[in-house]
């Protein structure tokens, strides 16, 4: 549906049985058929599965901009992602995304920008709730059909953010656009910079993403303060933060989060500008000798 143009939108209730809604004591209702085909349903699709699947699919689709990649989502948030850096195979890419946060990937939703073939299917050892991909080879479906996983193949559609609030339906476009621009410091691989921003676009609430060698090493999010998201990201990254790239979904309101990142060894930062303290933030980064890429977009997801 092209919401932008419609004066009135109508949804027909469809008879999709999701057992329950967000929780077992809450009923669910589906209006309008979701734009996907279910190739295998080893276990009945749930309300949360569909929302997770879309969250993963949008990030995976955006990874096509840098040659393709894979992402694992938990609770509508990416917990690990990797892209096809030169020389990396698709099998390696998928498993790097899963291993990026192996603990969290268990029971996660995997989405890839490329088709799932037999080799990828056979390499998947972790329990996954859903796999979303633009295509599945017949042999891959056969291999995966032995598992409890659901296989989802999206059809063409335009994704929108839409939520009910106070009985009304609020809709926002969801767009990834533009290329980050180097403000100062040594240049980094632009695909690696874009990778950090594509993942940040999918992470909720004060996202701080640390990436290294085409894989996420620390994803901080879900926090009411940016400094806390930075603290989570560097704690998860540990030593891997040294020399890494960090992306912030929105501008740095203060230097505090930047300080957390730089102290952990981050050497390149990607973030939009727009804070009243931009000057102070940029000077802080420049004095620390790191590179600063200006993101063309703020990528809040709440």
279/245 Cα distance (integer angstroms): 21
Separation between Cα atoms, residue 268 and residue 294, nearest integer Å: 11
Strand partners, 116: 136
Q: How far is the CB of 262 from its own copies (least distance, A)?
A: 20
Minimum CB distance to its own copies smaller for 31 or for 184: 31
Q: Which is nearer to its own copies, 124 or 219 (CB)?
A: 219
Q: How far is the CB of 78 from its own copies (least distance, A)?
A: 9
CA distance 267 to 204: 24
- Give 89 or 172: the residue with its C-beta nearer to its own copies: 172
Distance in Å, CB of 236 to its own copies, minimum: 8
**C-beta closer to its own copies: residue 202 or 290:** 202
Shortest reach from residue 186's CB to its own copies, in Å: 28
Cβ proximity to its own copies: between 44 and 161 the closer is 161
Please state the closest distance from residue 185 (CB atom) to its own copies, in A: 25
Nearest to 299 by CA among 181, 159, 196: 196
Reported as half-sphere exposure (CB side, CA atoms, 13 A), residue 258 has a value of 25
DSSP secondary structure letters along 175-211? ------EEEESS---HHHHHHHHHHHHHS-SS-EEEE
């Amino acid at each position: 549906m092209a919401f932008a143009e419609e004066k009135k939108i109508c949804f027909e209730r469809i008879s999709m049985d999701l057992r329950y809604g967000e929780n077992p004591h809450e009923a669910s209702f589906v209006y309008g058929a979701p734009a996907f085909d279910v190739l295998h349903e080893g276990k009945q699709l749930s309300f949360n599965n569909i929302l997770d699947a879309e969250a993963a699919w949008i990030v995976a689709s955006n990874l096509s901009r840098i040659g393709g990649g894979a992402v694992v989502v938990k609770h509508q948030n990416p917990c690990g992602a990797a892209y096809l850096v030169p020389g990396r195979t698709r099998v390696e890419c998928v498993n790097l995304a899963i291993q990026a946060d192996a603990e969290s990937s268990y029971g996660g939703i995997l989405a890839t920008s490329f088709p799932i073939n037999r080799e990828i299917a056979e390499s998947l050892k972790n329990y996954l709730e859903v796999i979303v991909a633009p295509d599945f080879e017949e042999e891959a479906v056969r291999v995966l059909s032995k598992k409890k996983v659901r296989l989802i193949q999206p059809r063409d559609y335009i994704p929108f953010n839409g939520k009910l609030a106070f009985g009304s339906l609020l809709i926002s476009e969801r767009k990834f656009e533009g290329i980050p621009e180097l403000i100062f410091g040594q240049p980094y691989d632009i695909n690696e910079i874009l990778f950090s921003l594509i993942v940040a676009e999918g992470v909720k609430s004060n996202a701080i993403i640390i990436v290294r060698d085409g894989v996420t090493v620390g994803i901080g999010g879900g926090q009411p303060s940016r400094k806390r998201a930075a603290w989570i990201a560097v704690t998860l990254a540990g030593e891997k933060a040294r020399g890494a790239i960090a992306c912030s979904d929105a501008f740095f309101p203060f230097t505090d989060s930047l300080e957390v990142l730089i102290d952990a060894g981050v050497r390149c930062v990607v973030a939009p500008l727009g804070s009243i303290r931009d000057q102070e933030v940029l000077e802080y980064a420049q004095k620390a000798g790191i590179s600063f890429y200006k993101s063309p977009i703020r990528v809040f997801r709440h």
